[in-house]
Structure 1
Amino acid sequence: MEYITLSNGVQMPMLGYGCFLVSPEECERCVSDAIEVGYRSIDTAQAYYNEEGVETAIAQAIAEGKVTREDLFLTTKVWISNAGYDKAKVSIDESLRKLQTDYVDLLLIHQPFGDYYGTWRAMEEAYKTGKVRAIGVSNFYPDRYVDLALFSEIKPMVNQIETHVFQQQKAARPFLDKYGAQIESWRLFAEGEKDISHNPVLTEIRKNMENMRHRLRCVSLCRAA
């Protein structure tokens, strides 16, 4: 697994398993399968209503000796209905209870609605007390991100936004780079939009990459000979 280092030094896996639209009943099996095949970053949220299913799968994997808690990078998100300092603070502890862990590796504001400034203060507090290893936001446009960053003690370390070949977030990147925030992509394959599997430009790139790999193999074989 490859990792990227966040602005506070925490290492985040570059590939993760997301639990959006995974039912509570299916979540345990899906997360167990994800861990089995090598995923170490698991992404859930209060609004997914499956944090407890994630916990069951992780607890089982740890009990079976497949991973340790330290091997995993666990993300959850504070939902709109829990916006504001008081509600967010309670909801963070509730998420920790459901996930049966002393800390999460990454905590995000799920959407920039409601009193998300109050939410951020609660998250900063959770970060300082060790309940969270890194904090960030999700679905924040550049203006909302910059506004929060300018008026916060701790800058958001991550912005989880829709990012793929058809939406590359070129306008957002300079603003996030300025404050040391890492883009974390969701909807990476565009949910099959625009016939992505057969897109002519992407198909041509794939062919060129395959040809390059073949040439590199030939060079390697020649050198070995």
Structure 2
Amino acid sequence: MRLHVLLAALALALGAAACGADPEEHRPAHGGAPAPTFTVPSLPKPPFPEAARQTVLRMARQDGTSPAHESQLTVAEFDSGYGPHLIWRAARTGDICMADGSPEGSAGKACVPPAKLGGGLRPGPSAEAVMWSAWFTDRTDLKRRPMWAMTLMAADEEIDHLSCQGHEFPVRRVFTTRQNGVPLTFYTASVPESLQGDYRVAVRRTDGPAEERMTITFGGPTTVQC
């Protein structure tokens, strides 16, 4: 099954650093040439700033997307060290919302309405990218490759990892809810900006492991075949 992005270019980053990538990294490997190596390091996770958390709560109250209780604001971490974000389900609208914030108290917020979540709206398990979070630079990499941090959703299945051109990218489960009786599980993931294409998605279902395809692009043309 081919799966597509539901909501592209939903930027939440506040002053995220950007740095040009090595042009060679945008070329797919051919003729036995080694594929570029990308690593997603495990880095210490900073807490979500309390001042920004209060800003997020105020914004959510103003536009009607507050959680049932402020304790339901869940910290969503990224294995790449980017973030963290907050994720929650709006009590009144059912939207899935995410927010980022700065230590000074500023914050950015975006929500996806239930009609665009997909889970429970069509038969069968599915996985899809529901929200782009930010473009950032992997500061642990000597080449400072641009990366994208994003949020994925699985309906009635679980995502194990993403892969492209022989490289695996981990996912981190950060939030679960239900829609129309179908379990929805949300994950964070980070992938290189230079690897845009049809990713392989390893999933687990009640009847065993399976593989799906997910088209991941960032507003530009598909550059590689995964």
- TM-score, normalised on structure 2? 0.30
The structure with higher relative contact order (CA 8 Å, sep 6+) is 2
More strand by share: 2
- TM-score, normalised on structure 1? 0.30
* Higher gyration radius (CA): 1
More helix by share: 1
